Chains A and B, each alone.
Chain A
Amino acid sequence: MSQPVRIKDQWAEGRLFVSRSVIGMTLVFLLSATLVAQLVWLQIIRHDYFLDQAQGNRVRRDPIPASRGLIRDRHGTIMVDNQPTYQLELIREQTPNLEDTLTRLQALGMLNTEQLDQARRAIKARRIFDSVPIRLNLSDEEIGRFAVHRHEFQGVDLRTRQTRHYPFGQLGVHAFGYVSAINEEELKKLDRASYAGTTLMGKLGVEAAYEDPLHGRNGYSEILVNAQGRSVERQGAYHPVLKSEPPVAGRDLMLSIDLPAQRAAEEGLGDRRGAVVALDPSNGDVLVLASRPGFDPGAFGRGLTRAEYATLTENIDKPLLNRALRGAYPSGSTIKPAMALAGLHYGVLDPDKREFCSGEFHLPRSAHMYREGKGGKHGGVNLVDAIAVSCDVYFYSLAATLGVDRIANFLSPFGLGQLSGIDISGERPGLLPTPQWKKKIFKHPADQVWFPGETVNLGVGQGYLQVTPLQLAVMVSVIANRGHSFQPRLLTGLLDAEGKVTPVESVKRPDVDGVTSEQWDIVLQGMIGATTRGTAAAIGRGSSYPIAGKTGTAQVFSIAQNQKVSARIENERLRDHSWFIAFAPADKPRIAIAVLVENGGFGASVAAPIAKRVMDAYLKMDTGVPPT
């Protein structure tokens, strides 16, 4: 290299060239071998993986939603169905001038300014070949208006979507429940394949309890898509085989609800807060399950705004609360027939013996005074009278004689303090208090003691006792059926596509044993007395069928010892709750009912007429003669 003058050496250069060529070719072959190794890795070793990836790329499953089953009452009347709602959809690539189209839609009154902005944003966010909803829930008038001008709006069309529809509005909402958007938690538990494409599911009541049969099973059809997600006919020269599965429609439900009776109950309650539960004592059919106030079930399916939801939850009338299942109240005097049966069962009561009611009751060696609920005194009353006129003093004495343990033991099969087993979720067990319960629930030893006075209060359904309207309906159906009863149930049968009904069997509840026929008769006499000459005589008078009933008044606040009973509480919300339980016809019971009106005051005046109205509607008697 350091030679001063270098001359070209052709031979050496030739050798140099050859050696470089050999090195070059070696490199080319080595790199090619690396390439082949990579190809083997991709095409042989990882072939299955990439095949899956390619399959996932090209085939999309389009879900075909199954139509949701309908809900019918016991006569087959459709209570909940599906209805198409119309919406406007726009496909950008088929719209010649988007801005102009939107402006003209606005001019036609199909979009307001806010909706116009939303539509613009929605269109922008989607692909040009997607059909984008730009206006939901069109009214009939709007559908008509657009239909006339449809030809002027290329790329815009009316589309339908199935939504849940409630022909009777709020009627029975606490029984039927509602559907609303599936949340993430629920999504984890659902069968994804069956729910692909479904956005709503039952959340409450029958809609939730029978979600599976109502939903059915969604189908799908596979479609071939290209990289933009656009559906295409074929893949190059090849028409691939695409699978599809038809949906299985949901099954219609046949419920035990009786629409006329349900309507009578809700209209009877009107604007008052309260609940009505009516059962068929012979099989547990829930004829009426009403709770007022209600709410619009359709709003949940459409999607509530935060403000709308807040309006519902913050309403002091608590429209979302299902009072029939979850409202727990003292039973008041409605407990007395069962209490009387306890006395007869344990033989501590001579039904014919007249006890003297002075309007006050004292436990031995106690100055504490238990007063007649409405004040006054009944004088001498036997058991039938005591039930009919609802004599508190008689039952204070009876309860004190029975003792709390015997009361709790005997009342348990009547369904108090336990779940009824109704086939929709959410019911509360209420409370049938016992000394053991008190020991468990209170911390301080001083509070754990069961006082004899608490037993006295239990005799007239006050104190710790908590019952739901459903539980009282069960209790009265036990009395109506003389100890035999069934779990309340809403579903009586599933309908298949041909309209054939698969019936659902009733489930028996534990019997009330050890009560003789004569003893049942005595209590029945007392309850008939209540509606003929006693506290609820107003509804019995003029009734074409005999009613066995019992009023009740549940104290919201216990009245202080020395306060005048007659002191009417000014605040409406502090007034007593009004109860009425009944079954009819008394000699051959077909309906057992419990009515609660919150802050309704005396049971006979508010709750009893509602019960009469429901029974009339169900028994198809006395209708047209509105009870006073």
Chain B
Amino acid sequence: MNKDPAWLRESVNNPLSARRTISDTARLLAALKLDGPLLIGIGLIVLYSLVVQYSASGQSVTTIVRTLERIALGTVIMLSLANCSPNFLRRLAPWLYVIGILLLIVVDVVGHIGKGAQRWLDLGLIRFQPSEIMKLAVPMMVASLLHERPLPPDWRALLVVAGLVLAPVALVAMQPDLGTAMLIAVAGFLVILMAGLQWQIIALLAVMAVGAAFVGWNFMHDYQRERVRVFLDPQSDPLGSGYHITQSQIAIGSGGVFGKGWMNGSQAQLEFLPESSTDFIFAVIGEEFGLVGLVVLLILYLFVVSRAVFLASQTSDTFARLLAASIAFTFSVYMLINTGMVTGLLPVVGVPLPLVSYGGTAAVTLLAGFGILMGLHSHRKRMGS
């Protein structure tokens, strides 16, 4: 209906009509079960990513087309999931979880036979990573389980959900894909955290983590220790393991406040920066758009996270609240881990910058998650308490 040129003329001539257009749009979004502000935030990030990917990939139109394909696919999935009722999603959760587990086992077995790392499942037409499903299936499963129980959860419930989280984490870790395994664990753990896990237990877990790290250091192979050392001091091995982080810091640092300009980053354009359009795309932004470009992106991210958490708080049942908050905070964790790694605050782990890095099905999964989140929010009234 927006395509009518008469509408355009009318909206220019008559501001009242423009207001009507806004309310029309709001009505459309409501019909689609979407949230306007969140959608705008996501849309701006995606637009930004297209601009940066074009430069980072060396002006590759193919890259942009493929990204647009994925965004389109993600949008379709987002729309579909946004229109699913929370009850349906809650009932869907166990099935999705079980199917995901089975697929992970298949992948592991195929990988074992093929004697190599195996993450993909080739279904002829499309190849996809079952581990991506688990990024959503695990929090859905945990949230649906905790939905039934009084919160904060007792230790029996905790043991069950811990098992539900760790099983797929272990399967993914065996592929081996430690980065994704960690993200799945984060998604599941965030649900438990939002459900009101006692601080004592959190403190206990933290102490155990430190202890494990201490013990682990003594059991580590030399090359693993080397990685930790390089994280602590990247310059100690600038051409070996520290190469990524050294080049990434050079890219960001040399960008300065305003950057070298679009497609002018020498680090990215001359291939000094490895994985410049995927995991290290944040450094490309830092080099070409400077501190200003990075802060703009950070503000967009924080807006999306804030809006998502706000939407989560507006939902009215436990399942919706827990799942929505998990999706929102997982998104922020992705963002913080990637930016921390690229700037040298965290060790190098394979976590892409959400919605900006090129490749994989990560963006599709993220959009699917936002679809669920918006659906949970827009279906809240019908659920009445």
The B-contacting residues of A in range 11-52, CB under 8 angstroms, are 13, 16-18, 20-21, 24-25, 28-29, 31-32, 34-36, 38-40, 42-44, 46-47, 49-51
Q: A47-B256, A237-B59 are in contact. Are A36 and B151 (CB under 8 A)?
A: no
Smallest Cβ distance from B357 to chain A, in angstroms? 17
Q: A53-B254, A238-B264 are in contact. Are A35 and B340 (CB under 8 A)?
A: yes
- Contact between B151 and A8, CB atoms less than 8 A apart: yes
Stretch binding the partner chain, chosen from A227-235, A288-296, A443-451, A481-489: A227-235
Q: A25-B309, A44-B257, A51-B254 are in contact. Are A57 and B270 (CB under 8 A)?
A: yes
- Contact between B193 and A43, CB atoms less than 8 A apart: no
Q: Chain B contact residues: over half helix, strand or loop, or mixed? A: helix
Q: In the assembly, what is the distance between CA of A232 and CA of B269, in Å? A: 11
The B-contacting residues of A in range 52-100, CB under 8 angstroms, are 53-55, 57-58
Smallest Cβ distance from B266 to chain A, in angstroms? 4
B345: interface (CB < 8 Å): yes
- Contact between B250 and A54, CB atoms less than 8 A apart: yes
- Contact between A24 and B253, CB atoms less than 8 A apart: no
Interface string of B303-343 (1 = CB under 8 A from A): 00110010011000010010001000100100010011001
A151: interface (CB < 8 Å): no
Residues in chain B near residue A53, CB distance under 8 A: 250, 253-254
Chain A residue with the shortest CB-CB distance to B147? A8
Q: In the assembly, what is the distance between CA of A524 and CA of B251, in Å? A: 84
- Contact between A58 and B266, CB atoms less than 8 A apart: yes
Q: In the assembly, what is the distance between CA of A28 and CA of B310, in Å? A: 14
The B-contacting residues of A in range 221-268, CB under 8 angstroms, are 224-228, 232, 235-238, 240
How many A-B residue pairs lie within 8 Å, measured between CB atoms?
A: 156
Cβ contact of A57, chosen from B154, B193, B266, B294, cutoff 8 A: B266
The A-contacting residues of B in range 196-240, CB under 8 angstroms, are 196
Band of interface residues on B: 35 or more
- Contact between B271 and A236, CB atoms less than 8 A apart: no
- Contact between A236 and B194, CB atoms less than 8 A apart: no
Cβ contact of A24, chosen from B255, B267, B270, B325, cutoff 8 A: B325
Q: In the assembly, what is the distance between CA of A34 and CA of B346, in Å? A: 12
- Contact between B256 and A58, CB atoms less than 8 A apart: no
- Contact between B154 and A1, CB atoms less than 8 A apart: yes
- Contact between B309 and A232, CB atoms less than 8 A apart: no
Interface string of B252-277 (1 = CB under 8 A from A): 11111100011111111111100000
Q: In the assembly, what is the distance between CA of A36 and CA of B252, in Å? A: 12
- Contact between B151 and A49, CB atoms less than 8 A apart: no
Smallest Cβ distance from B106 to chain A, in angstroms? 35
- Contact between B271 and A226, CB atoms less than 8 A apart: yes
For the complex, count residues of A whose C-beta is within 8 A of B: 48
The A-contacting residues of B in range 263-308, CB under 8 angstroms, are 263-272, 286-287, 290-291, 294-295, 298, 301-302, 305-306
- Contact between B272 and A58, CB atoms less than 8 A apart: yes
Residues in chain B near residue A55, CB distance under 8 A: 266
Q: A50-B253, A226-B270, A226-B272 are in contact. Are A236 and B263 (CB under 8 A)?
A: yes
Residues in chain B near residue A49, CB distance under 8 A: 253
- Contact between B271 and A227, CB atoms less than 8 A apart: yes
- Contact between A9 and B270, CB atoms less than 8 A apart: no
- Contact between B249 and A50, CB atoms less than 8 A apart: yes
Chain A residue with the shortest CB-CB distance to B243? A227
- Contact between A228 and B271, CB atoms less than 8 A apart: yes
Q: A1-B154, A13-B196 are in contact. Are A42 and B252 (CB under 8 A)?
A: yes
A316: interface (CB < 8 Å): no
* 19 A-B interface contacts by CB (under 8 A): A6-B149, A6-B154, A9-B150, A10-B385, A13-B150, A17-B194, A24-B325, A24-B329, A28-B329, A28-B336, A31-B340, A35-B340, A38-B345, A53-B253, A55-B266, A58-B267, A235-B266, A236-B269, A238-B264
List B residues at the A interface (Cβ < 8 Å). Answer: 55, 58-59, 149-152, 154, 193-194, 196, 247, 249-257, 261-272, 286-287, 290-291, 294-295, 298, 301-302, 305-306, 309, 312-313, 318, 321, 325, 329, 332, 336, 339-340, 343-345, 385
List A residues at the B interface (Cβ < 8 Å). Answer: 1, 6-10, 13, 16-18, 20-21, 24-25, 28-29, 31-32, 34-36, 38-40, 42-44, 46-47, 49-51, 53-55, 57-58, 224-228, 232, 235-238, 240
The 10 closest A-B pairs by CB, nearest first: A50-B253, A236-B269, A54-B254, A236-B263, A6-B150, A226-B270, A237-B263, A227-B271, A58-B266, A42-B253
